[in-house]
Amino acid sequence: MAYLDNIQTFVRVYELGNMSAAARDLRISAAVASSRISQLEDHLGVRLFQRTTRLLNPTEQGNTFYRGALKIVEAVEEAEADINDITLTPRGTLYVAAPLGVGQKFVAPAVPKFHKKFPLINIRLRLSDRKLDLAAEGLDAAFFLGLPEDSNLRIRKIADCPRILCASPAYLKERGMPRSSDELKTDAHDCLNLRYPGAPEFQWPLQTKDGTRRVTVSGPFESDHGEILTTWALEGNGIILKPVFEVSEHLQKGLLVPILEQEPPLPIQLACLYMHRRKQDPKARLFIDFMVDHITASMPA
Q: Is the pLDDT of residue 198 over 60?
A: no
Three-state SS at 89: coil
Average predicted confidence (pLDDT) for the chain: 85
Q: Is the pLDDT of residue 87 over 80?
A: no
Sign of CA dihedral 226, 231, 232, 238: positive
Q: Are 263 and 180 in contact (CB under 8 A)?
A: yes
Q: What Rg do the C-alpha atoms of the chain give, in angstroms? A: 23
Q: Is the pLDDT of residue 19 over 90?
A: no
For the stretch 242-284, pLDDT in tens is 999 999 999 999 999 999 999 999 998 899 988 766 556 788 8
C-alpha dihedral, 275 to 243 to 198 to 23, nearest 10°: -40
Give the angle subtended at the CA of 195 by the CAs of 187 and 179, to the nearest 5°.
Answer: 35
For the stretch 125-182, pLDDT in tens is 988 877 777 777 778 899 988 877 655 678 888 988 999 999 999 999 999 999 988 8
Q: Are 16 and 137 in contact (CB under 8 A)?
A: no
Give the strand pairing for 211-216 and 240-243.
unpaired
The model's pTM: 0.65
